[in-house]
Amino acid sequence: MSQSVASGYRNRFTVSAISQYGPIIGLVGLYVAFSLLNDRFLTVGNQMNVLQQVSIIGIMAIGVTFPILCAEIDLSIAQVMEVAGLTVATLAVGARLFEGSAVPVPIAILAGLSVGAAFGAVSGYVTARFGVPSFMTTLAVLFLADGLGLIVSGNRPIIGLPESITNIGGSRLFGLPSIVLVFFSLLVVSQLMLSYTKFGQYIYAIGGDRQSAERMGINVAAVRLGTLVISGTFAAVAGLVTLGRLGSAVPTMGAGLLLPPIAAVILGGADLFGGSGNMVGTLIGVLILGVLQNGLNLMGVGPSGQLVAQGIVLMLAVLANVSGEN
């Protein structure tokens, strides 16, 4: 009897430890390993470089955390980020589709953020109102946003952006890169929203058990729609700061940015099926991706090797995530 109990405790500890503490253990392990392998890794300059590199993915990961916690998914974030950034740029400069119709920078920024929110609202409404899986609705929006981005930009780069736009993601404030400050500000606000608002509580309730949430009187449709609107808006913010990072707007600036934010959320320990996770976990997941890429790059490992390593780490995270459910 005692042997059976001891065995049960060992199994329980193993599964729960991997699921709950795996992300932070993995991040610490990466820091220790790369610090020993390369003396440049742990320098202040390199760590700041890591934060700058992950900030765009991080902002998108924060946004997509909301629907994931609500047992939804948003596959359109990269293209929404792209079309929102292109909209801001073309409106501010008065180019391409808006030739000769330049508007003040605040209006251009508001228009870009509204584009992101609108795409989120479209996919959210169809998902919540008609019961279409968010996988399908956001996939449709992916193609829609991609096409509109090409129309807005004329499939050509937009240069000569006002300094007030490029400063948002390309300047320094208090000695820190502005893009990093934007990332961490959004992270803090989002965690506060999840922890201390009814909306945040409703997200967890719906992600945990949608039918029970409905019986509790929660407006499930509105919350599901809201999470996708937030995801679209954060994608638009990522597009805005990317303009400062690049110094221009290009139609392909969202290339390769769909999967890393979603992977970061999963790496951070968020439940694949909703109801569990937080922004601290998302931050850890983002840092795991950034540290892994940066450390391998310092060691001379090429892009192909980095992708293989990221794939292995993500597979381990998914296995730990699923094991925690059993």
Residue 208 lies in a domain: yes
Q: Identify whether 6 is part of a domain.
A: no
22-43 pLDDT, tens digit per residue, is 889 999 999 999 999 999 999 9
For the chain, what is the domain count? 1
Which contiguous run of DSSP H or E holds residue 177?
strand 176-177
In a domain, 72, yes or no: yes
Contact 146, 82 (CB under 8 A): yes
Q: How distant, in Å, are the alpha carbons of 33, 50, 71 from that of 67?
A: 34, 26, 6
Determine the Cα angle at 255 with ends 249 and 259, to 5°: 135
In a domain, 7, yes or no: no
- What's residue 325's pLDDT? 58
Please tell me the predicted confidence (pLDDT) of residue 318: 78
Is 10's pLDDT higher than 70? no
pLDDT band at 19 (very low <50, low <70, confident <90, very high): low
Is 15 a domain residue? no
What is the average pLDDT across 150-154? 93
Q: Is residue 115 part of a domain?
A: yes
Residue 130 has a pLDDT of: 95
**pLDDT at residue 13 is higher than 90:** no
Q: What tokens appear for 64 in the block?
A: 């997509």
Distances (CA, A) of 297 to 28, 40, 186, 256, 289: 18, 11, 28, 18, 12
- Say what the pLDDT of residue 8 is: 47
| Residue that wins the pLDDT comparison between 99 and 19 | 99
Q: How far is CA 257 from CA 61, 78, 80, 132, 217, in A?
A: 10, 5, 11, 24, 37
Q: How far apart are CA 27 and CA 47, in angstroms?
A: 14
Cβ 213 vs Cβ 220: under 8 Å: yes
* Nearest to 89, CA basis, from 153, 171, 143: 153
Residue 11 domain flag: no
Q: Is the pLDDT of residue 59 over 90?
A: yes
Give the model's pLDDT for residue 234: 98
Is 70 exceeded by the pLDDT of residue 119?
Answer: yes
Per the structure, the complete domain to which residue 105 belongs is given by 23-323
Max distance between CA atoms of the chain, in angstroms, equals: 81
Beta bridge partners of 177: 172
pLDDT-derived band at 98 (thresholds 50, 70, 90) equals confident
The pTM is what?
0.93
Percent of the chain with pLDDT over 90: 80
pLDDT at 316: 81
Two structure tokens written together for 249: 């707007």
d(C-alpha 129, C-alpha 189), whole Å? 28
CB-based burial label for 280 (10 Å; 0-12, 13-18, 19+): middle
pLDDT band at residue 11, thresholds of 50, 70 and 90?
Answer: very low
Q: Does any domain span residue 18?
A: no
Domain containing 45 — which CATH number?
Answer: 1.10.3470
